[in-house]
Amino acid sequence: MEAKGSVFEYNGEKQVLICSQDDFFVLESWDQYGIYKEGDFKTTKISPAPYVIIPSIGERLDFEYSFPSNSRVIVRIFDLNYRFITSIVDRFYESAGTVTRMYDNADWDGKNHLSQIVDPGTYLIHIEATNYLNGKSSIDIAPIVVGVNY
């Protein structure tokens, strides 16, 4: 965040006087959901990092997803038989954009919904975005590989 204001000294301490909310500028937005950048997307896309993760040694999967405006976005992990493993994201976004998840607690740690490390193998990262205004849904799926440390 960046702010525009006046610097002055009060009781020996430097202070910044910011006069209005228009003096604040968001440079980059990061929260527990990752870095959000607004964009103009009409469809849904998910892009996992293209490498094998080994959760038993603490590796995590970074990924990025894009979605249209006014959408409830759900990101889940499934096995190849489409059995549910865990949910990573379930959030409503007013504006279309892209979220990059690459920090602890924002990416996937290779664990199921019971916090157990999943077996080695291929999994599917699945995104679904449902627009509440028109009821349309769009999905994207990408493979991810979980390995084991020998």
What DSSP designation does 63 have?
E
pLDDT at 122: 96
Q: What's the distance, CA 83 to chain centroid?
A: 22
Instruction: Give yes or no for a contact between 65 and 46, defined as CB atoms under 8 angstroms apart.
Output: yes
pLDDT for position 105: 57
Kindly give the residue spans of alpha helices, DSSP state H, lying in 69-147. Answer: none
For residue 62 the two structure tokens come to: 């970074």
Return the pLDDT at 32: 60
Task: Look at residue 43 and tell me whether its pLDDT is greater than 70.
Answer: yes
Q: Give the pLDDT confidence of 68-86 residue by residue, as tens digits.
A: 999 999 999 999 999 999 9
Q: Bridge partners of 53? A: 146
Q: How many CB atoms lie within 10 A of CB 118?
A: 18
Structure confidence by residue, pLDDT tens digits, 88-122: 999 999 999 999 887 665 688 999 999 999 999 99
Q: Give the mean model confidence (pLDDT) for residues 114-135.
A: 94
d(CA 117, CA 110): 6
Looking only at Cα atoms, what is the longest distance across the chain? Answer: 67
Identify the helix (H) or strand (E) that includes residue 88.
strand 84-93
